[in-house]
Amino acid sequence: MSVRRLAAVQPASFAFSPETMEKANWWIAKYPENRRQSAVIPILWLVQKQEGWVSEPAISAIARLLAMPQIRVYEVATFYTMFMLEPVGSAALIQVCGTTPCMLRGSDALIAVCKAKIGPKDKLSADGLFTWQEVECLGACCNAPMAQINDYFYEDLTAENMVQIIDDFAAGKKPAPGPYNGRKTSEPLGGATTLSDPKLFDGSAAKAIKIPNAPEKA
């Protein structure tokens, strides 16, 4: 993004909300005073959760809070792709995985829906509700194709699913995250086929063990 574009979208000022400041101080307290700069990543994230993105006034405020040069905060914010440096959709930030497993399973159809319903990638939609991106692997390959929308994974998607999800967000609804083909988490379709005995998980099959060097019970 050009400097001209950055200058065009910046707010006049930034202020930490009381809730954000409380959490920021909690993170700062985890480090020695001379290492308070170590809290920069979580505080950038807190600011993004407050505002939806990280502005230049916010970067300046974080630099003052952590007693570090503004350029160092900017370096961190620009290094990690999770930080948004311009406004994103107020309803949803849609990040469609375009890596090989998802592409083989139809992510191109999801991308086509986003282009048709929202507009160009990496740009705020005309109504201000949506931004969509194509991203690298999000680690849910067995549930491909998938997308991260805001903070949650939407998996096993089709073009039809994506249309409905976008429409629901536009209407102010909160579509349920998770698989959209009926599977539970990452189990095979039709349910788990191995490790299905409840005794493996409820403790009933556990056997007493002798811990070396542990004192004998009276």
pLDDT band (50, 70, 90) for residue 4: very low
Residue, of 25 and 190, whose pLDDT is higher? 25
Closest CA to 110 of 80, 138, 151: 138
Closest CA to 166 of 157, 175, 158: 175
pLDDT score of 6 more than 90: no
Contact 133, 92 (CB under 8 A): no
Contact 41, 80 (CB under 8 A): yes
| Per-residue model confidence (pLDDT) at position 118 | 97
Rounded mean pLDDT of the chain?
92
pLDDT in tens, 61-82: 999 999 999 999 999 999 999 9
| Per-residue model confidence (pLDDT) at position 218 | 58
Tokens of residue 120, six digits: 């160009």
Residues 6+ apart with CB under 8 A from 207: none
pTM above 0.85, yes or no: no
pLDDT in tens, 118-150: 999 999 999 999 999 999 999 999 999 999 999
User: Residue 217: what are its φ and ψ, rounded to 5°?
Assistant: -70, 145
The amino acid at 84: M
**Sheet holding 130-135: strands in order across?**
130-135, 92-97, 147-149, 152-155, 178-179
Query: How many whole angstroms separate alpha carbon 89 and alpha carbon 55?
Result: 15
pLDDT score of 5 more than 50: no
| Per-residue model confidence (pLDDT) at position 15 | 97
Least reliable range by pLDDT among 48-52, 99-103, 175-179, 185-189: 185-189
Q: Peptide bond preceding 145: is omega within 30 degrees of 0, i.e. cis?
A: yes
| Mean pLDDT, residues 206-210 | 81
Tokens of residue 10, six digits: 């910046």
